[in-house]
Structure 1
Amino acid sequence: MRRVHGPAFKKAVIELSECPSCRGRAVTQGLFHELPCDHCNASGWVVAATGEALPLDELVTQLSMRLQAATRQIEQLKRPQAGGPGAGYQGGNRRGAGGTNYTGD
């Protein structure tokens, strides 16, 4: 085992899954009204490996990391990808002199 002093340099991503009690809704049906789910701390998410709820401070961090990853993926999908013969002309390929764009013309 490796000895490490202090916190990790990068925060580990914990795999999350929907809460089995509330099915990811964060609330359960009471007799007359909806109640916050006690199993997942009213978040709708639990640790996928163990099925236990995360502490609130860790849950906020993990959900923020998931949101940032989803936002990056959405932005990447929004950017049009050039295809066909014009694809080489759109972006820099750093193959020219001094790392400039080289198109082969």
Structure 2
Amino acid sequence: MKKAHVPGFRKAQVELEHCSTCKGKAVVQGVSYELVCIDCNGSGWVMAGSRMVLASDELVTQLSFKLQQAQREIEVLKRGPSITGPAAYYQQNNRRGAGGSNYTGD
């Protein structure tokens, strides 16, 4: 018997984009004051491509996924550039130069 894929064990990540009406600000300018954007239900986010509005509970989950991804990218950038191969050897101090400085042979 073939194994069947059972949906629901993992939450699918939906691509989000800024609302085209409010430009991601969640409000639009009325005559004398700002109004909540009705195209995105005041969230500033819609589904990419279809521009459908997400339910508030689904939106919270998707924004959490987006935040976690951004935090991972920030951590990678904080670690600094990872130099590998010959460039890594060239950049490190080998203390073979005059006064213990770096000598690269150039």
Question: Following the alignment from structure 2 to structure 1, what is the Cα–Cα distance between the partners of residues 53 and 68?
Answer: 21
Question: Following the alignment from structure 2 to structure 1, what is the Cα–Cα distance between the partners of residues 12 and 90?
Answer: 41
- Taking only aligned residues, the RMSD between alpha carbons, in angstroms, comes to 2.1
What fraction of aligned residue pairs are identical, expressed as a percent?
A: 48
Structure 2: which amino acid aligns with 1:43?
Answer: S
Q: Structure 1: which 5+ residue stretches go unaligned?
A: 88-105
Instruction: Give the alignment's TM-score, normalised by structure 1.
Output: 0.71
Number of equivalenced pairs? 85
Decide which moves more: 44-53 or 78-87: 78-87
Structure 1's consecutive aligned runs of 4 or more residues displaced over 3 angstroms after TM superposition are 2-5
Instruction: Give the alignment's TM-score, normalised by structure 2.
Output: 0.71
Question: Following the alignment from structure 1 to structure 2, what is the Cα–Cα distance between the partners of residues 45 and 21?
Answer: 10
Deviations 1:42-85 (A, max 9, x none): 11100112111100000000000000000010001101345312
Question: Following the alignment from structure 2 to structure 1, what is the Cα–Cα distance between the partners of residues 90 and 80?
Answer: 13
Question: Following the alignment from structure 1 to structure 2, what is the Cα–Cα distance between the partners of residues 37 and 51?
Answer: 14
Give the superposition deviation at 1:86: 8.3
Equivalent position of 1:53 in the other structure: 53
Larger Rg: 2
Question: Following the alignment from structure 1 to structure 2, what is the Cα–Cα distance between the partners of residues 75 and 43?
Answer: 27
